[in-house]
Amino acid sequence: MPPRRFILAFFALLFSGWTAPLWAQTPIFYTGGDSAINGYDTVAYFTDGEPVEGRADIVVMWKGVIWRFASQAHREAFEADPRAYAPQYGGYCAYGVSLGYRDSTEPEAWHINRGKLYLVRTPYVRSLWKRDMAEYIARADANWPAVLAE
């Protein structure tokens, strides 16, 4: 097959429905209980600058997980753009994902970098992670979502 035809066939296959499952997100979020982020309000990290426990009566189901919020306004903000507020790597420890494994997180061990929320196992692990955050994020991006299968 001449190079031009090969290229056209490649792009036709690439944009066909056959490859869609390869690109489909399989979002699995660490819950640490009955809800994402151990029941903490993911929007509060951005608006309040600190972890705030969500309320059991202000919730939304997204990607198969219950998300709790401290206020109706936070719930509405999340519903308008959940990907803007959801933690990276499904809420698993960003440092752990950078090393190729899943690990639990503490809501108090967090950091926002370039508008994205990262959770880690403990405040001590956060101090390790922040020493070379750009490198760990690059490694975690490369490892995610393959670590879900392990």
**One-letter amino acid of 11:** F
Question: Residue 24 has what pLDDT?
Answer: 41
CA angle centred on 32, ends 29 and 36, rounded to 5°: 45
Question: Residue 150 has what pLDDT?
Answer: 76
> What is the C-alpha separation between 16 and 60, in angstroms, rounded?
33
> What is the C-alpha separation between 94 and 85, in angstroms, rounded?
15
Q: Which of 2, 26, 23, 27 is nearest to 14 (CA)?
A: 23
Contact 108, 80 (CB under 8 A): no
> What is the C-alpha separation between 141 and 52, in angstroms, rounded?
27
Mean pLDDT by 10 residues, the chain (150 residues): 46 40 53 88 98 97 95 98 96 96 94 97 96 97 91
Question: Residue 29 has what pLDDT?
Answer: 85
